Amino acid sequence: MSEYNQEKLTQDVLAAFAGTPDPRLRQLMTALVKHVHAFAREVDLTSEEWLAGTKFLDATGQISTERRPEFILLSDTLGLSMMVVSLAQARASGNAKGATEATEATVEGPFYWPGAPDMPLGSDIAEGIPGEPAFYMGRVTDLDGKPLAGALLDVWSGDGDGKYDVQLSDTPTMRARGRFRTDAEGRYWFWSIRPTYYPIPDDGPVGAMMRATARSINRPGHIHMQVSAPGHVMLTTHVFVGNSPFLHEDAVFGKRDSLVVDFDAHPPGKAVDGREMKKPYHSASFDFRLAPTPA
């Protein structure tokens, strides 16, 4: 009988990576091999299932583009993206359990597009797109509440139909995106729309996985904010609409209770910033607290 059993196979593969020069890469590959082999043994993985899995990953790569990163979507729907976010915030706060006084981070998502235009405070980044107008305001401070003047907010969201600009065309133009700098008191304000819930892209392998496992494909309404200031840890997060459908079954596990905000409804009239609104609108207030960069 051959002595080449399952345990010896795992040990042989681990030995093959033992000479990896980079210590961190060696650690990652060693742990990966251990867990993948343990998974195969735990479920008694068949050849047919292994082949189906490799075809799934191949299809995920085939459909992926710069504007449609299906592997990020896969990571999001498996909760891996949020796990990495949680680990990163815990690392930055110096607390292994992830507790922090900073605003909670969440997933970036697959629709971030660098290079949004710099706009003056009070601008409307959603002119001409469907959706109910919404006024956003708040402050950016450090953990002691000191205002951070000149902090940068990179903002993006889908439109009122739940569609992001990158989903509408192979050569999209930027919509509902903009970058703002806080004033001397750390304040920000701008106009956009009240975000609506929407389904994640489900016309690819990830969508097939979600249907096969009877999972919801929806995300609650939210607007993305990437907030940064010199000497502080950059924050990537969302502001969630308080009464949005699917708030408790976010397909990518990104919702955090501390990020849920009431969007107040207002009749036509003069808004907080003095703008005369001819139709009903909403307003939302949210303050961001940034952690200092670890020494």
Average pLDDT over residues 173-193: 97
Mean pLDDT of 63-77: 91
| pLDDT at residue 98 tops 70 | no
Q: Residue 202: is its pLDDT beyond 90?
A: yes
pLDDT-based confidence at residue 258 (cuts at 50, 70, 90): very high
CATH tag, 70-290: 2.60.130.10
- The yes-or-no verdict on residue 99 having pLDDT over 50 is no
pLDDT of the residue at 100? 56
81-95, 170-184, 206-220, 227-241, range with the lowest pLDDT: 81-95
Q: Is residue 95's pLDDT more than 70?
A: no
Q: Please report the pLDDT score of residue 166 as a whole number.
A: 87
Asked if the model's pLDDT at residue 188 lies above 90, the reply is yes
Q: What is the pLDDT of residues 128-137, one digit of tens each?
A: 899 999 999 9
- Mean pLDDT to the nearest integer, 139-160: 96
Lowest mean pLDDT among 6-20, 25-39, 83-97, 126-140: 83-97
Could you tell me the pTM of the whole model? 0.89
- Residue 247 scores a pLDDT above 70: yes
Identify the pLDDT of residue 180.
98
For the segment 260-273, the average pLDDT, to the nearest whole number, is: 96
How many CA atoms lie less than 13 Å away from 194 in the CB half-sphere? 19
User: What is the average per-residue pLDDT within 165-192?
Assistant: 94
For residue 250, what pLDDT is reported?
Answer: 96
Q: Calculate mean pLDDT across residues 31-50.
A: 97
Domain boundaries, the chain: 6-45, 70-290
Looking at mean pLDDT, say which of 2-11, 36-45, 105-114 comes out highest: 36-45
pLDDT at 155 over 50: yes
The confidence score (pLDDT) of residue 283 equals 97
Mean pLDDT of 163-189: 93
Residue 104: count other Cβ atoms within 10 Å of its Cβ.
17
pLDDT at 97 over 60: no
The per-residue pLDDT for 23 is 98
